[in-house]
Structure 1
Amino acid sequence: MTKRLDLRVDFAFKSLFGTHGNESILAAFLNAALRFPDEKKIHKVQLLDPHFNKENQEDKRSILDVHAQLEDGSRVNIEIQLNNKHDMEKRTLYYWSKMYSSQMKEGMDYGELCKTITINIVNFRYLSHIHDYHSTFQLYEREQKVLLTDMLEIHFMELPKLLIKWRNKEVDPREDQLVRWLLLLEASEDEEITHVLEEIAMQEDQVLKKAMDEWERVSQDPEVILAYEARRKALLDEKSALRRAENQGETKALRTVVLSMTEKGMNPTEIAGLTGIPEEIIKKLLQQ
């Protein structure tokens, strides 16, 4: 069997969910993600330009992973993040605001603006204080918990949390379609998941079968593979750079603590005994 592209890489994700001709796949994912009742199920989605032009010289030029419009005019952005850049809230609000404000055209009334939804799929644990893998945020009054407006909706879907539930048999892709679609993103690295999803696709889910067939096809396309490998390398380089930055930050914070203890009259042996940090590392920190 062909080695399939890792769908957690944004380029591969877009190749499957954000490509013209695959709108039915995107609609099925959104129906599962947004939990629409049967009478409000999405039947058609329109893929929109993922680029937002800079409005001024200082502005960032934004490129969304998957940008779509639903039948009722609602706008949806799906972002997949392999690495934690520790800026998700601000990045999310920035992209949401660009989507929301881009609807406004000359002569339009504010009442014509449509609901705007951001879905963040992240390959790391992000919301440590929330146990579930799928979290939804809206604008509420702090004390009364009254919804101000449904125009803003932000979702976080944390793949590591889902995998733990999958391994503990707390979720079942046969019963939950969102679990089904999110596990598809992990399937390139897990034969058991792939086998289960292939069974579901053959027995009951024609759209999932289409997605897996299309996934197989693009995974054999030389041009797609070339672009995918370039993007995957860039993400790996980014991850390494983030790790170096984190390590440098930890070292700086540790040196600050050691210097503070030294200023209070403690020697390296005493600091080592109190903190558990090896004495030779403390001496190196003091020499920096």
Structure 2
Amino acid sequence: MPYTELAKTITINILNFRFLRETERFHTTFHLYEDQEQFPLTDVMEIHFMEIPKLMDKWEQRAVNPHDNELERWLLLLEADDHEEIRKELEAIAMRDPVMKRAFDEWEDLSRDEKKWVEYESRRKAILDEMAAVREAEIRQQRAREEGLAEGEAKGKANIVLNMLAKGLNVIEIAELTGLTVAEVEKLKQQLH
């Protein structure tokens, strides 16, 4: 179709992790702009990021008001199952907001339908398991990195000790210069023979 007839494309990314380090705002919106003069290239594309951990930080700081802000209200609804205080706040809002009331009613219906509830819990467990697996992989990667650095440092120190021994320095001097124990230097000395 002709470019002039393109429908606006809006991407909404609701993230359960911190994505943009440049800001503490939980909702950011991006468009395509020219780098220097900042005029828009087009208005047919818009990208939103909504970072739930940042929203929860704002909730803890009492810096959000779901009574006055619909976006905050609906994003907080995603956390209501795990946070009783949020759920109670949103239930109070639902008494005045028919759309929110309907969402709570649907949630109640889901809770009563055992098959749907099992499906919901299975999906929720799969998401939590995936998040745990990702975190475990990050921890393992960090440990491997630290172990690799420690191993590299130990090999470097061992090479220095071996060079010092080859130059004729005595074991006590080498231990003092490197911070190794005399026993560690003696052990490395045995590698020369």
Q: Normalising to structure 1: TM-score of the pair? A: 0.52
Matches within 5 A, 1:4-153: 108-153=1-46
5+ residue gaps, structure 2, are 161-174, 180-193
Corresponding position of 1:92: none
Mapped to 2, the partners of 1:167 and 1:233 lie a distance apart of: 25
Mapped to 2, the partners of 1:147 and 1:124 lie a distance apart of: 29
1:222 Cα deviation (Å)? 1.7
5+ residue gaps, structure 1, are 1-107, 274-288
Corresponding position of 1:209: 101
Which of these residues, 117, 120, 136, is aligned with residue 244 of structure 1?
A: 136
Whichever residue aligns with residue 21 of structure 2, its letter is S
RMSD of aligned residue pairs (Cα, Å)? 2.3
Whichever residue aligns with residue 159 of structure 1, its letter is I
Whichever residue aligns with residue 143 of structure 1, its letter is Q
Mapped to 2, the partners of 1:186 and 1:137 lie a distance apart of: 25
Deviates more, 1:148-157 or 1:247-256: 247-256
Query: Which structure has greater helix proportion?
Result: 2
Deviates more, 1:162-171 or 1:131-140: 162-171
Corresponding position of 1:156: 49
Taking structure 1 as reference, are residues 168 and 243 closer, same or farther at Cα in structure 2, changes over 3 Å only?
A: closer
Corresponding position of 2:90: 197
Q: Normalising to structure 2: TM-score of the pair? A: 0.75
Whichever residue aligns with residue 120 of structure 2, its letter is Y
What is the number of residues matched between the two proteins? 162
Corresponding position of 1:185: 78
Task: Please say if 1:259 is aligned against 2:151.
Answer: yes
Mapped to 2, the partners of 1:241 and 1:167 lie a distance apart of: 27
Mapped to 1, the partners of 2:126 and 2:68 lie a distance apart of: 37
SS at match of 1:226: helix
1:109 Cα deviation (Å)? 2.5
Corresponding position of 2:65: 172
Mapped to 1, the partners of 2:6 and 2:108 lie a distance apart of: 39
Greater radius of gyration (CA): 2
Greater RCO, 1 or 2 (C-alpha within 8 Å, sep 6+): 1
Mapped to 1, the partners of 2:128 and 2:60 lie a distance apart of: 26
Indicate the percent of aligned positions where both proteins have the same amino acid. Answer: 49
Deviations 1:54-113 (A, max 9, x none): xxxxxxxxxxxxxxxxxxxxxxxxxxxxxxxxxxxxxxxxxxxxxxxxxxxxxx333322
Whichever residue aligns with residue 241 of structure 1, its letter is A
Mapped to 2, the partners of 1:233 and 1:190 lie a distance apart of: 17
Whichever residue aligns with residue 224 of structure 1, its letter is K
Task: Please say if 1:221 is aligned against 2:116.
Answer: no
Whichever residue aligns with residue 126 of structure 2, its letter is A
Query: Which structure has greater strand proportion?
Result: 1
SS at match of 1:188: coil
Corresponding position of 2:172: none
Mapped to 2, the partners of 1:234 and 1:194 lie a distance apart of: 23
Which segments of structure 1 move beyond 3 Å, counting only runs of 4 or more?
none
Taking structure 1 as reference, are residues 200 and 236 closer, same or farther at Cα in structure 2, changes over 3 Å only?
A: closer
Taking structure 1 as reference, are residues 144 and 196 closer, same or farther at Cα in structure 2, changes over 3 Å only?
A: same
